[in-house]
Each structure stands twice: as structure tokens, then as C-alpha cells.
Amino acid sequence: MFYTAQSCPDQTCVIAKSLDKDFPEKPRVFKQSQVNQEVELPANKAEIVKILEVTVTAKQIVSMRFVETPKGSALDKTKLTGKKAVVEGFICYRLVYESPCGNVSTLEQKLSFFDYVVIPEHWNDEDPIRSFLVVEDLVVCPKNKRNFVINALLFIHLKNFCPPPKPCPPPKPCPPPKPCPPPKPCPPPKPCPPPKPCPPPKPCPPPLCCPTQKVNNDATATSKSPVTIYQTFSIHNFVRPTKVHQKNRKKISKWP
């Protein structure tokens, strides 16, 4: 039977002091466990007249192993993933009570527990999993002068420090290729320019006429410069200049 401070028959139950207050934030894998044990005083201990104080001195999870279980969901919405963690541990407590002689006696005992926690399917023994134990409540109720009942409410929390990697998102589908634009039409060829008209032929120049020969018969000329004499020939002849020296009257012919 599970006793509490309110349900104790003679209202002599005592709630333990120094209970845990550092609860984990946003736990996901946990189990609330209940432990109920009847304890008998050793033969060398005095009888219990009144329980004065109960204190939790130590707590520890000594072992944890994984077991395979079926998969499914129960009517009470309990879901089985196919794996459980079997947890074993203990709680140490100190009981202070008054004996018939008026003396104060102390008793230190160990309360063992054994429970399981449903864990995710991807966890295994190689993962860095840590366990946490929280004592939510501890009540001691005397049953008679030599026996008492201890009830504990535990919170077992498991945490995996290496969560599985997030699956990669599916690749985005490639967009359909854009259709090629139609080719641009070739521009029409430019028309050839009309040919330029040939210029009219130049008229032939008129034939050159030979000037009449001039003869200088001035005998009184005293200039020593030669006198050019032009002689008229027919159209079929050439013009040949002659130089005459006035002193010796000799003709000197020279072609240009």
C-alpha cells in the first residue's frame, strides 16, 4: 500500500526534507516511478515511538541496459517504440526517531528501485546517453514499534547528447528548359546602286599652229646677246631654233 502524509492512519507520517528542486527543462524521455517498501528495524535498534525526521542522503542509478520490445500503441495512449531502457538504482535516507527511553536514535537505510523507460527507436548502446534521477517525494509512515513503510516517488530522465542528424531535404526538381527563341529572319539584301554613267569624252585639243619666223635684221645692234630666230616650216616639219652671233655672223644651231 502506498502511504502519503495525508493518508497515514494515525497521521504520524513524515515527509522527507531536502528534496530535489532542480527538475530538467523540457524533458522528452522520462519515467515517473513509484517505490513502496516495508522496513523492519534491526535487532540492535530501539523501538519507534515517534518519527522525527527523514532526509535523503544519496541517490544513484547503478546500471542501465537496452532491451527489445514489441511496437504498438495501447488504449491509454502508451506508445511502444520497440526499445526500452531498464534502469536500476537506489536511494539512501536517514531516519531520526524517538525511542521509548526518550533517546533519539538514527537509522540509515538504502531503498532500491527497478524500472524501465521507453526510449526512441534510433537510440543504441553506443550513444552518449546520460541518466538523471530526481526524488520528487519521500514519505515514511510507522506501522508498529518495529516496522515502518517508506514510499518514494521518483523521476527518471534519460538524455541523449548526440541526437541523430536531420535528414537532408529532398533535392529540388530541375526546372524545365526554356524553349529556344525562333531564329531571327535574315534581312533582305540591299539593292545594288545603279552604275555611274561614264563621263563624256573630252574633246581633242586643236592642233598647235607654229608661229611665223621672226628675223632681226637690225645691223646697228650693238648687243652681244644672241638673237633667236624662228623659222616657219610646213605643218609636217619641226620648229628648230637657230642662234646667230651678230659679230661673226655665224649660224649656230642648237637643239633644245
Q: Are 51 and 17 in contact (CB under 8 A)?
A: no
Q: For the chain, which ranges sit under pLDDT 50?
A: 1-7, 9, 215, 218-239, 241-242, 244-256
Distance of CA 198 to the CA centre of its chain: 80
Give the model's pLDDT for residue 255. 46
**Does pTM surpass 0.85?**
no
Task: Note the pLDDT tens digit of each residue in 129-149.
Answer: 888 888 888 888 888 888 889
Give the model's pLDDT for residue 88. 92
Residue 57, C-alpha cell as written in the block:
542522503
Give the model's pLDDT for residue 256. 46
